[in-house]
Amino acid sequence: MRLRTKIAALCAVVLATSLSACAPGSPQSDAGPSAPASVDFNSFKGQTLTYVYFTDGPDEQATKDMIAKFEAATGAKVNLQIVAFANLATSLQARLSAGNAPEVARVTDWHPYADKEVDFKQYFGSGFPSEFASGAAATAMDSTGRMLAVPSDVTINGPMINVDAFKKAGVPVPAKWTWDELVADAKKVAAANNMPYAFAIDKSGNRLSTILSQFGTVMIGPDGKNALDKDKAAKALTFFTDLVKSNVSPKDFWLGSGSKYTGANEIFLAGQVPVYLSGPWQVGAFAKSATFNWAAAPNPCQERCGGFPGGKFMIAFKDSKNPALAAAFVQWMNRSENQREVDKTAYWLPTRKDLTDSGVTYANRQSDMSSFLSQINETPSDTWTDANSPAFTASATALISETDKVVAGQQDVRTAVENISAAIDKAIKAAGS
Amino acid sequence: MSVMAPARARGFRGWMRGKNLAPYLFVLPNMLIFGVFTIWPAFNGFNLSFYDSSNGRTYRPVGTGNYTNILSDSQFWGVVQHTVLFTLGFVVLSTVLGTALALMLNSQRRGRGALSAAYFLPVLISPVVVGIIWKAALDRTTGLVNQVLSAIGLGSPGWLVDSSLSLISVILVGTWIHLGFYAVILISGLQAIDTSLYEAARMDGASVWQSVRLITLPLLRPTLMVVIILATIAGFQAFDFVYTLTGGGPVGATTLIIQYIYENAFSYPIQYGLASAAAVILFVVVFAVTFINYAIGRRSESI
The verdict on B22 and B88 lying in the same domain is no
Does the predicted interface ipTM exceed a cut of 0.90?
Answer: no
Query: pLDDT tens, B264-285?
Result: 888 777 889 999 999 999 999 9
pLDDT band at B11 (very low <50, low <70, confident <90, very high): low
> In A, which residues are within 8 Å of B140 by CB distance?
252
- What confidence score (pLDDT) does residue B10 get? 57
The answer to whether residue B59 sits within a structural domain is no
- What confidence score (pLDDT) does residue B4 get? 47
Q: Is the peptide bond before B218 cis (omega within 30 degrees of 0)?
A: no
Nearest to B248 among A94, A259, A410 (CB): A259
Low pLDDT (below 70) residues in chain A: 1-38, 433
The verdict on B97 and B187 lying in the same domain is yes
Please count the structural domains in chain B: 2
The verdict on B169 and B286 lying in the same domain is yes
Query: pLDDT tens, A237-268?
Result: 999 999 999 999 999 999 887 777 788 999 99
- What confidence score (pLDDT) does residue B19 get? 67
Ramachandran assignment for A199, one of left (phi > 0), alpha (psi -120 to 50 degrees), beta (any other): beta
Equal fold, A43-155+311-378 vs A158-307+390-431:
yes
The verdict on B97 and B219 lying in the same domain is yes
Q: DSSP characters for B198-256?
A: HHHHHHTT--HHHHIIIIIHHHHHHHHHHHHHHHHHHHHT--HHHHHHTTT-STTTT--
Q: Which CATH architecture has domain A43-155+311-378?
A: 3-Layer(aba) Sandwich (3.40)
The verdict on B268 and B297 lying in the same domain is yes
A258 in reach of chain B (CB within 8 A)? yes
Q: In Å, how far are B32, B61, B101, B180, B297 from B95, measured between CA atoms? A: 35, 44, 10, 11, 15
Nearest to A256 among B46, B161, B263 (CB): B161
**What's the rounded mean pLDDT across residues B231-244?**
94
**What's the rounded mean pLDDT across residues B75-92?**
95
The answer to whether residue B213 sits within a structural domain is yes
**What's the rounded mean pLDDT across residues B105-127?**
87
With b for 16 or more beta-carbon neighbours within 10 A and e for fewer, the B35-72 pattern comes to eeeeeeeebebbbbbbbbbbbbbbbeebeebbbebbee
Q: Do A90 and B266 touch (CB under 8 A)?
A: yes
Residues of chain B above pLDDT 90, percent: 67
- Asked whether the beta carbons of B86 and B170 are under 8 A apart, the reply is yes
Average pLDDT, chain A: 89
Point out the least confidently predicted range of A349-363, B9-23, B168-182: B9-23
Point out the least confidently predicted range of A262-271, B35-44, B104-113: B104-113
Cα B53 to Cα B67: distance, rounded to the nearest angstrom: 14
The answer to whether residue B58 sits within a structural domain is no
**What's the rounded mean pLDDT across residues B96-106?**
93
Average pLDDT, chain B: 89
CATH superfamily, domain at A158-307+390-431: Periplasmic binding protein-like II (3.40.190.10)
Point out the least confidently predicted range of A37-41, A356-360, B219-223, B259-263: A37-41
> In A, which residues are within 8 Å of B55 by CB distance?
93, 96-97, 112-113
The answer to whether residue B222 sits within a structural domain is yes
pLDDT band at B302 (very low <50, low <70, confident <90, very high): low
> In A, which residues are within 8 Å of B249 by CB distance?
255-259, 404
B74 in reach of chain A (CB within 8 A)? no
The domain containing residue B221 runs over which residues?
65-302
A96 in reach of chain B (CB within 8 A)? yes
The verdict on B113 and B211 lying in the same domain is yes
DSSP strand pairing (B51-52 vs B60-61): antiparallel
Which H/E stretch holds residue A200? strand A199-201
- What confidence score (pLDDT) does residue B21 get? 82
Q: Is the peptide bond before B250 cis (omega within 30 degrees of 0)?
A: yes
Query: pLDDT tens, B48-58?
Result: 999 998 888 88
Instruction: Choose the most confident range, by mean pLDDT, from A357-371, B20-34, B74-88.
Output: B74-88
A266 DSSP 8-state letter: H
pLDDT band at B2 (very low <50, low <70, confident <90, very high): very low
- What confidence score (pLDDT) does residue A280 get? 92
What single-letter amino acid sits at A242? Answer: D
The verdict on B19 and B133 lying in the same domain is no
The verdict on B90 and B212 lying in the same domain is yes
Query: pLDDT tens, A175-217?
Result: 899 999 999 999 999 999 999 999 999 999 999 999 999 999 9
